[in-house]
A and B are shown apart, each in its own frame.
Chain A
Amino acid sequence: MPENVLKVETEYSDHIPSREEIAAMKAKHRVLATYSYEPSTIERGYNSRSLYISVGGDYDTSEQDPLTSSAKGDNGVVIGEKAVTDLMKDKFTGGKGFDLYHLWKSVKEDTHWNAPENNVVISPGPLAGITQYAGTGKSIVCSISPLTGLPFDSNVGGFFGPFLKFSGFDALELQGKSDEELIIFIDGNAHTISVETAPDESIDSHILCEQLTEMYAENEADKMNISVVASGRAAEHSYIGCLNFSFFDKRRNCVRIKQAGRGGIGAVFRHKKIKAVVARYRGVHGDSNNPVNKKLINDAGVRFHKQMAQLDTKQNNMRKIGTANIIEVMDRYDLLPTHNFQYGAHPETPKISSKVYIEKYVTQNVPDGCWYGCSMSCAKAADNFELRTGAYKGSKVCVDGPEYENAGGLGSNVGCFDPHWILEANFYCDTYGVDTISHGTMTAFAQECYQRGLYNLDDTEGLDMRWGNGYALNELMHQMVAGDGFGVIVGKGVRQQKRIFAERFGKVAPEYEHMLEGQAWQSVEEPIIDKPIPTAHFNKHLVDCEALKDFGYDDEKVLNEIKGTSLENAGANNDSAFIAHPKRWEKIPGIPTISREEIADWPAGKPYYSDDPVCPYTNGRPWVKMTPEQVAEMEEFGMENKGLEYSEYLMKESLAQQGGYALCNKGPQHDEAWLIFMDMVNNQIPTFEDKAEALHYFPMFRTWFGLLGLCKLPWNDVTPVNNKNEAEPHKFPEHVQNYFDIYEGVTGFKHNEASMVRQSERVYTFQRVFILRMGSGMREHDMPPTRSLGPISAREYLSREERYDEQLLEKIGVNPADMSTEKKIEVIMDYRKDQFRQLVDAVYKRRGWTPNGIVKLEKLIELEMDLPELVRIVRPHLKAEGYWPSGTEFAKYDSM
């Protein structure tokens, strides 16, 4: 160990279970199925087989590849193997490609996320598991997302992917639905797999991963060889469940977790009643991946490690603070989303800058790689972090973070500028299995609705949803865990919030007021957006009055009021405080109960009762539909596309990034393209064609990482000295060449840019056809919320008036001098909407799609992806749009 590397003194004993506790838990396991398999040798990055597990349930598997061998157990559990064919390697490569391949064969056009046939597929990719280069331990997870209803991919570090591969499998499929809580154990050294009931283990990841690491490690040293995939309790009641992938950190003597955060795959996992998948593999070494030419890999590794040693402290400080290094950078360039993406900067950002985290929270001088050999080591952690709220209040924990996205989502975007609160929320999101990004964006949406007066305290059962109310935000998460209260609505994501709010949180129209028989149940409030919080409404779940002071509530009067309320309402528990707000409604005669289907035609403003179980409030409360104007208002600032919440970068001033988000196959996540500097600051892609080219190259290049098992960060979070001399420095050609060398080193195949793009484009195009198959994937689905294109309110316009006035004058050619703010917004937004339309046209053309976003047959042929399954999906759309090609060479596709 280098001299300046610390062993961290930690105090985590309160959540490390004793041997006796572990033994008692294990004794309760009932083995449902076991399976033994032959060891395999990895060749050119592949085991050439994948692992299939059904956890039970009845569903059609006739379209899936056959099991080459299998074992059936109790409760319908099946464990088996499938061949990884040459076709799969050739057209789908691995990682995300293999995931989507298996998912396609598992689901039907109408498969819902919670159907048993939905599949959680995990694949590490052919390069995963190298230890000589940085960022080579990633896995990709795919499933049909509860948020989008579409195939979704999410990448993650931790040791599971490489362990799965070295255990003998290129992918793992998890299908079916169990009635009992299960754990799946893959012993890569004994070559056995078991599926066991696990009634007593925790569900929350930080506890569960510790328990299972203790349970399945043969001794202390063996803990390094255990990796657990788990989620958390909030994933059971929300659509934003994440998956945690663990690794044992021996310097901290604790288990760490990395997240496959986006898309709600943790909710699918928990719906199947899988508590965890555990892999054990002992014996990782530099040749585990059995490379064809190790020297190529070693040389690339040495070059990269030298750059990190020499340049990181002068550049991005990844080894000190990880991705959080850009919090203040984003603020300075007006890109840090603030108050639900209204603004890009905030005067209080210095309170949550990377400097604050480095000085006060994040443990330094520890090499924090999430897989062996990662010299970028950005997986930082705050040790001995004492929790102030919630179920684990008082525990000292290791918080994985902060990552930039968490500071944006749990901080600035919800108006919270308290670094402790951000870390606390970060911890709870992880252990409860919640995606921090979606949680931030959907909470910000709920906050803005509240502050615009679209709903009120009655609707939230007393939660004050103003910007920055950290306790209210914490409470939402605790409600998701409990499956109770307003948090359950929020946890369904922005798209479902819009629907539920629209159906339930309208105001009673004057002509229907008589139906309430004098029960004045709506306190109509003024819009209060952007006003400071004068006091706080608190609620059911464990608020500590002392801790309030740390969150800025040091007004004695407020504290006493809260404390008093606490004693009055919390009974014996005088350590917690809340204002018990909810009214319990007497059922009002004369208000009809209507079915789910009838709601669509029900008049706005007219009260009704519903027995729809989607809403957790069943206390006799009548509901009221919003007016069409209110619904349209929410559509403008609900920051989702395809059902996924936007990630945490303000995109308003970059047309290319607006496209990067909205044209992303899975929904607006920046891992396809991040073009804001190239576009907005550098002005390197001024024309529509330039932007379209960037929106072709970068999504393909970044898809490639997901096919192979690579982390994106080492590509461009350190800049080689000679990069400035390159013709296309923004592509970081030296690092791209390193990747080509590694690819050749493992597989023997020599890549160039064209072959790399083609490899990616096959899977990217397949995913586009897949989402079409599932009912999306057309132009209308690529349309963004209006706020992503520019200012939609006077507040937003006036905050950057000079910039927008200048654009009116110079870009649009109108003089803003005599125009009202409303008129200026109308003109600038009309212009921007038109720009977006032109961008979409250019990108579709570049990608070989029709103006409606359908992949052309000629493109499928060019990519050798003219598989009958794909042709059958695009054909009716192409015919309807007039893009089905004529000519004898295409005749065979008519009858496919």
Chain B
Amino acid sequence: MSEPLIQLNNRPYPFKDGATIASLMAENNYDFPSLIVKVNGSLVDEDSWHSTVINVNDNVEIIHLFGGG
């Protein structure tokens, strides 16, 4: 059986049981201050990043808003 996955920014990414948005961010060093997070197209507010658990096959978008100097 193939490894369970999620989509992170439209790329396959290994699913981990119990992973949250916050843990996913930490794992990827995503600590930029202006971020938009969507799971399966729905916005997730910053207050919920620690409590939102990621499920297998979820489509997670963590959008960095920065346009350079």
Report the minimal beta-carbon distance from B21 to chain A, rounded to whole angstroms: 14
Contact A716 B36 (CB under 8 A): no
Question: What's the Cα separation between A329 and B31 when bound, in Å?
Answer: 8
Contact A729 B36 (CB under 8 A): yes
Report the minimal beta-carbon distance from B9 to chain A, rounded to whole angstroms: 4
Contact B32 A329 (CB under 8 A): yes
Instruction: List the B residue with the shortest CB-CB distance to A723.
Output: B65
Which of A212-220, A473-481, A680-688 has 4 or more CB atoms under 8 Å from chain B?
A680-688
Asked, given contacts A686-B10, A729-B63, whether A674 binds B36 with beta carbons under 8 Å apart, the answer is no
User: With an 8 A cutoff between CB atoms, is A364 at the interface?
Assistant: no
Asked, given contacts A315-B33, A315-B34, A316-B33, whether A683 binds B9 with beta carbons under 8 Å apart, the answer is yes
Within 8 A of A (CB), among B10-58: 10-11, 29-34, 36, 43
Contact A730 B67 (CB under 8 A): yes
Question: What's the Cα separation between A676 and B66 when bound, in Å?
Answer: 9
Contact A730 B63 (CB under 8 A): yes
Asked, given contacts A681-B64, A729-B36, A729-B63, whether A332 binds B11 with beta carbons under 8 Å apart, the answer is no
Contact B65 A730 (CB under 8 A): yes
Instruction: List the A residue with the shortest CB-CB distance to B7.
Output: A683
Instruction: List the A residue with the shortest CB-CB distance to B38.
Output: A724
Question: What's the Cα separation between A729 and B63 when bound, in Å?
Answer: 9
Which of A332, A404, A724, A732 contacts B29, CB < 8 Å?
A: A332
Contact A649 B65 (CB under 8 A): no
**Chain A residues positioned under 8 Å from B31 (CB to CB):** 332
Asked, given contacts A725-B43, A729-B36, whether A716 binds B65 with beta carbons under 8 Å apart, the answer is yes
Contact A684 B63 (CB under 8 A): yes
Asked, given contacts A315-B33, A684-B63, A719-B34, whether A670 binds B69 with beta carbons under 8 Å apart, the answer is yes
**Chain B residues positioned under 8 Å from A683 (CB to CB):** 9-11
Contact A682 B67 (CB under 8 A): no
**Chain B residues positioned under 8 Å from A684 (CB to CB):** 9, 63
Report the minimal beta-carbon distance from B45 to chain A, rounded to whole angstroms: 9
Contact B65 A729 (CB under 8 A): yes
Contact A314 B33 (CB under 8 A): yes
Report the minimal beta-carbon distance from A501 to chain B, rounded to whole angstroms: 30
User: With an 8 A cutoff between CB atoms, is A333 at the interface?
Assistant: yes
Asked, given contacts A333-B29, A681-B9, A686-B10, whether A674 binds B69 with beta carbons under 8 Å apart, the answer is yes
Question: What's the Cα separation between A50 and B41 when bound, in Å?
Answer: 52
Question: What's the Cα separation between A670 and B66 when bound, in Å?
Answer: 13
Contact B67 A674 (CB under 8 A): yes
User: With an 8 A cutoff between CB atoms, is A677 at the interface?
Assistant: yes
Within 8 A of B (CB), among A325-373: 326, 329, 332-333
User: With an 8 A cutoff between CB atoms, is A715 at the interface?
Assistant: yes
Question: What's the Cα separation between A90 and B46 when bound, in Å?
Answer: 46
Within 8 A of B (CB), among A659-716: 670-671, 673-677, 681-684, 686, 698, 712-713, 715-716
User: With an 8 A cutoff between CB atoms, is A323 at the interface?
Assistant: yes
Asked, given contacts A681-B9, A682-B63, whether A323 binds B33 with beta carbons under 8 Å apart, the answer is no
Report the minimal beta-carbon distance from A311 to chain B, rounded to whole angstroms: 9
**Chain A residues positioned under 8 Å from B30 (CB to CB):** 681
Report the minimal beta-carbon distance from A61 to chain B, rounded to whole angstroms: 38
Contact A677 B64 (CB under 8 A): yes
Instruction: List the B residue with the shortest CB-CB distance to A698.
Output: B67
Question: What's the Cα separation between A103 and B45 when bound, in Å?
Answer: 51
User: With an 8 A cutoff between CB atoms, is A196 at the interface?
Assistant: no
Question: What's the Cα separation between A403 and B30 when bound, in Å?
Answer: 23
Report the minimal beta-carbon distance from A809 to chain B, rounded to whole angstroms: 13
Question: What's the Cα separation between A565 and B32 when bound, in Å?
Answer: 49
Instruction: List the B residue with the shortest CB-CB distance to A682.
Output: B63
**Chain A residues positioned under 8 Å from B32 (CB to CB):** 329, 333, 677
User: With an 8 A cutoff between CB atoms, is A405 at the interface?
Assistant: yes
Which of B29, B33, B64 contacts A682, CB < 8 Å?
A: B64
**Chain B residues positioned under 8 Å from A332 (CB to CB):** 29, 31
Contact A719 B65 (CB under 8 A): yes
Report the minimal beta-carbon distance from B67 to chain A, rounded to whole angstroms: 4
Question: What's the Cα separation between A453 and B28 when bound, in Å?
Answer: 38
Question: What's the Cα separation between A725 and B67 when bound, in Å?
Answer: 18
Instruction: List the B residue with the shortest CB-CB distance to A713.
Output: B69
Asked, given contacts A316-B34, A681-B9, A682-B9, whether A716 binds B29 with beta carbons under 8 Å apart, the answer is no
Asked, given contacts A683-B9, A683-B11, A724-B43, whether A677 binds B69 with beta carbons under 8 Å apart, the answer is no
Contact B63 A670 (CB under 8 A): no
Report the minimal beta-carbon distance from A895 to chain B, rounded to whole angstroms: 45
Question: What's the Cα separation between A405 and B69 when bound, in Å?
Answer: 8
**Chain A residues positioned under 8 Å from B69 (CB to CB):** 323, 326, 403-405, 647, 670-671, 674, 713
Binary contact track A298-317/B, C-beta < 8 Å → 1, others 0: 00000000000000001110
**Chain A residues positioned under 8 Å from B36 (CB to CB):** 723-724, 729
Within 8 A of B (CB), among A621-666: 647, 649
A-B contact pairs, 29 of them (CB 8 A): A315-B33, A316-B33, A316-B34, A323-B69, A332-B31, A333-B32, A647-B69, A649-B68, A670-B68, A670-B69, A673-B68, A674-B66, A674-B68, A681-B30, A682-B9, A682-B63, A682-B64, A683-B9, A683-B10, A683-B11, A684-B9, A686-B10, A713-B69, A716-B65, A719-B65, A729-B36, A729-B65, A730-B67, A732-B67
Binding site for B on A (CB under 8 A): 314-316, 323, 326, 329, 332-333, 403-405, 647, 649, 670-671, 673-677, 681-684, 686, 698, 712-713, 715-716, 719, 723-725, 729-730, 732
Across the A-B interface, give the 5 residue pairs with the lowest CB-CB distance, nearest first. Answer: A674-B68, A677-B64, A683-B9, A716-B67, A724-B36
Binding site for A on B (CB under 8 A): 9-11, 29-34, 36, 43, 61-69
Q: A333-B29, A649-B68, A724-B36 are in contact. List 15 more A-B contacts (CB 8 A).
A: A316-B34, A329-B32, A647-B69, A673-B68, A674-B68, A681-B30, A682-B9, A682-B61, A683-B9, A683-B10, A712-B67, A713-B69, A719-B34, A729-B36, A730-B65
